[in-house]
Amino acid sequence: MTNVLKVNFESPETFRKPIETIQSVLDSGGVIAFPTDTFYGLGADPFNPEAISKIFRIKQRPADKPLLVLIHSVDQLNSLTEEITPLVKYLMGNFWPGSLTLLFKAAPGLPGELTAGTGKVGIRLPAHLFTVQLLERLGRPLTAPSANISGQPAPKAIWELANTLGGELDLLVDGGPTPGGQPSTILDATLDPPTLVREGAISQKDLKLILPNLTG
């Protein structure tokens, strides 16, 4: 099984070395498993086409399904998109951090593998404290599809990866169990009117309270 790295952000003197290890894995095009708001996800450098392709291979994911990206600050949007509309700012103000993934027009430099050729990229600012701390310490966005083979149950704890993807990954980052629950809601805010792509933790009903012209 792949090495498991325990990270504790409550102790600054102990997390510096693990963060350096994670950085090294990501810099080399590796794929990690790490906790998110719901399940463990697969993290890789979203600007590295080979790393992204590795995720698709590991998950046996259809090539036409793009990967979402997690950020720890809205400042990181500048590297992922060149267009932040007033509508998007409004939605971020109401639902970030949280369970709303917004589709943006992808920046020209983003790999086609990440967007699955759609020209759009799904981005979310998570509310999970460990996830935000990890992203902040790494200083970089990360991909975050669930750490499972497509169509199979997603893991809520690191030990669940032992019999599934454990041997396929470069590093398992143990941040404790995750709460599970519904996946993020995905909203395409590049369209007018905005379109609901996937209903998840945020319901269509809740979105319609502030987006009465919502479709999908």
Q: In this predicted structure, what is the pLDDT of residue 9? A: 85
109 in a domain, yes or no? Answer: yes
Q: In this predicted structure, what is the pLDDT of residue 21? A: 96
214 in a domain, yes or no? Answer: no
Question: pLDDT digits over 26-84, tens only?
Answer: 999 999 999 999 999 999 999 999 999 999 999 999 999 999 999 999 999 999 998 99
Question: pLDDT digits over 180-192, tens only?
Answer: 999 999 999 999 9
Q: In this predicted structure, what is the pLDDT of residue 166? A: 81
pLDDT > 90 in the chain, percent:
91
To 5 degrees, how large is the angle CA 88–CA 191–CA 132? 35
Q: What is the CATH number of the domain that holds 117?
A: 3.90.870.10
Is residue 173's pLDDT more than 70?
yes
- From residue 207, give the alpha-carbon distance in Å to each of 11, 71, 97, 185: 39, 22, 15, 10
Question: pLDDT digits over 79-112, tens only?
Answer: 999 899 999 999 999 999 999 999 999 999 899 9
Alpha-carbon distance of 179 to 138, in angstroms, equals 23
- Per-residue three-class SS string for 106-123: ECCCCCHHHHCCCCEEEE
Q: In this predicted structure, what is the pLDDT of residue 181? A: 95
Alpha-carbon distance of 94 to 150, in angstroms, equals 31
Q: In this predicted structure, what is the pLDDT of residue 2? A: 81
210 in a domain, yes or no? Answer: no
How many domains in the chain?
1
Q: Cβ(197)–Cβ(187) under 8 Å?
A: yes
DSSP state string for the chain: ---EEE--TT-HHHHHHHHHHHHHHHHTT--EEEE-SSSEEEE--TT-HHHHHHHHHHHT--TTSPPEEE-SSGGGGGGTBS---HHHHHHHHHH-SSSEEEEEEBPTTS-HHHHTTSSEEEEE----HHHHHHHHHHTS-EE--BSS-TTSPPPSSGGGGTTTTTTT-SEEEE-------PPPEEEETTSSS-EEEE--SS-HHHHHHH-TT-B-
Is 0.75 topped by the overall pTM?
yes
Q: Chain-wide mean pLDDT for the chain?
A: 94
Q: In this predicted structure, what is the pLDDT of residue 62? A: 94
192 in a domain, yes or no? Answer: no
Alpha-carbon distance of 127 to 100, in angstroms, equals 10
β-strand partners of 33: 42, 172
209 in a domain, yes or no? Answer: no
159 in a domain, yes or no? Answer: yes
Question: pLDDT digits over 112-134, tens only?
Answer: 999 999 999 999 999 999 999 99
Q: In this predicted structure, what is the pLDDT of residue 1? A: 60
53 in a domain, yes or no? Answer: yes
- What range defines the domain where residue 100 resides? 4-184
164 in a domain, yes or no? Answer: yes
Q: In this predicted structure, what is the pLDDT of residue 53? A: 97
Q: In this predicted structure, what is the pLDDT of residue 93? A: 96
